[in-house]
Amino acid sequence: MRQVVLPFLSVSLRDFYHSASTTMIQQENLKKRLARLAAPIFIETLLIMMLGAVDTVMLSRHSDNSVAAVGVVNQIIMLTFLVFEVINLGTSVLCSQYLGARLHKQVVQVVGVSLLVNFVVGVGISTLLFGCAEPILRLMGLGPELMQDGMDYMRIVGAFAFFQALSLTLSASLRSANKAVYPMLVTVVVNVLNIIGNYSLIFGRFGFPELGVEGAAISTAFSRGVSMVILFVILFRKHIHRFPPAYFRPFPWVELKNLMKVGLPSAGEQLSYSSSQVVITYFINMLGVEALATRTYCVNIIMFAYLFSISMAQGGAICIGHLIGEKKPRAAFLMGKYVMKKSVMITVILSCILALFGHVIFGWLTSNAEIIKMGVTILVIDIVLEIGRPVNIFATNALRAAGDVNYPFYVGLVVMWSVAVGLGYLFGIPLGWGICGMWVAFLLDENIRGAIFVRRWYSMKWASKSFIR
């Protein structure tokens, strides 16, 4: 009996340790794959945030009014950019899954259709923003002291919105092909151009006229145009060398349908969020210019706290899309757990640091004592908010990458509008708690949605939603 049992146990233990070792190796490989994607995305996202922060910091040297006006305009422009995300989000998801399944022709078709659609839509949006700047800003309740600055910025940046439409599509395609380093490098170039352009045109340096807000707008539009051109060159040299006409005859309606199937609910979730932010900005505008300027400063500061979670979520979503295409849902689940844990930990630590140095940071930006007081209070409240936000950022990206595109939309629609908007108005206006009361409502919104998304991820209901059959 002993001679039979011991060899059996020996083989079983050997198999067990081999299996455990293989699992650990696979997990390490997944972490390395995530790091290769997340690191350049982190740097790129940091530089994109710096692009907005540079505008804010430089304009703060011009006037608080210009900061408030540009803050409102950027809310509107970012809302219109979500129209482009209908296609871009679908591009990222489909390309990730098709690349995982090694379906090269479908990848080329998806990117080609995406570029065509976003060019047409982008030109339409550009025309709208340029031609309707004044009525849109009046609808937002922008005061007469801010109107001229707002119109100047919106007409110039809005007229060239199609640059951003095409750039977003190109970046999504390159990232899904594990080439995230290229969009990162392009963003470095764009940031340098924007800083030089802002300094030259806002303050009238190097022989240029002093244009203020108008100068910031010209610099932003020019930088985005350069970004688009460089990304096109990289796409043709490093990813898709050509778009064979045979791939588009007949027109690949199936891929357009899949793009819309992913993009509409995915962009709907982001549209819901951005629309709620526009409404909230309208409420904050009711509190006065100081509250509006405080919000603009806080948004630009707090972005640096959840920057890490954005890069981890986007890198993790691409990896999850590849794993779904490779038919490995369990590995995708483990990847998600790892991303959520790291994102929450790092984001909360960074938000604590920002709150600790709140007085110093706001002292650099403004001398207005009321703005500094409100801003420092918001940074403290935001520490708790950043527990839920990283989970939401991850879950919306990861569920979308797995094909579970409707769930984040429904959750966002219900919770954001009832809690962030509804309670935000109640706390801020009728109860008189001001912008700090509104931030408490945002805290509740992020954490409620975070709890719902954690439950969804652990249920693994998303594992059956793949586009690969």
Identify whether residues 183 and 283 lie together within a single domain.
no
pLDDT, tens only, 74-91: 778 877 777 787 777 778
Answer with the one of 219, 251, 283 that is the final residue of a domain: 251
Q: For position 469, what pLDDT does the model report? A: 60
Of the pLDDT bands very low, low, confident and very high (cuts 50, 70, 90), residue 386 is very high
Percent of all residues in the chain with a pLDDT value above 90, rounded to a whole number? 27
Q: What is the pLDDT of residue 26?
A: 58
Residue 425 domain-assigned? yes
Q: Which residue has the tokens 């349908």?
A: 257
Tell the residue number behind the tokens 């078709």, with chain if given: 109
Highest mean pLDDT among 42-51, 175-184, 345-354: 345-354
CB-based contacts of 286-291 (< 8 A; 24+ apart in sequence): 286/141, 286/429, 287/428, 287/429, 287/434, 287/435, 289/64, 289/65, 289/68, 289/143, 289/145, 289/146, 290/64, 290/368, 290/370, 290/371, 290/374, 291/374, 291/434, 291/435
306 occurs within a structural domain? yes
At 24, the pLDDT band (50, 70, 90 cuts) reads: low
Residue 466, pLDDT > 80, answer no
Question: Residue 225 is part of which domain span?
Answer: 35-251
* 289 and 243 in a common domain: no
Q: Answer yes or no: do 270 and 247 share one domain.
A: no
pLDDT value at residue 149 = 81
* 55 and 159 fall within a common domain: yes
Q: What is the pLDDT of residue 51?
A: 67
Q: Is residue 40, in this structure, part of any structural domain at all? A: yes
Q: Which of 206, 222, 251 finishes a domain?
A: 251
Confidence check: pLDDT of 1 > 50: no
pTM: 0.70
Same domain, 57 and 114: yes
Residues 203 and 351 in one domain: no
User: Is 462 inside any structural domain?
Assistant: yes
Are 43 and 36 in contact by the 8 Å Cβ rule? The answer is: no
On whether residue 1 sits in a domain, the answer given is no
Band (pLDDT 50/70/90 cuts) for residue 49 is: low
- Tell me how far apart the alpha carbons of residues 368 and 366 are, in angstroms, rounded to a whole number: 6
Domain shared by 180 and 305, yes or no = no
Q: Examine residue 74 and state whether it is found in any structural domain, yes or no.
A: yes
pLDDT band for position 5 (cuts 50, 70, 90): very low
Asked if pLDDT for residue 11 goes beyond 70, the answer is no
Domain count, the chain: 2
Q: Are 386 and 457 found together in one domain?
A: yes
In a domain, 29, yes or no: no
Q: What is the mean pLDDT of the segment spanning 301-316?
A: 87
Read off the pLDDT of each residue in 15-28 and give the average, rounded to a whole number: 49
Higher local confidence (pLDDT), 447 or 20: 447
Q: Do 237 and 266 belong to one domain?
A: no
The answer to whether residue 138 is domain-embedded is: yes
Mean predicted confidence (pLDDT) in 402-420: 90
Is the domain of 232 the same as that of 267?
Answer: no
Assess whether 167 and 202 both reside in one domain: yes
The reply to whether 220 and 99 lie within a common domain is: yes
pLDDT of residue 18: 44
Domain end call among 212, 227, 251: 251
**Res 420: pLDDT:** 93
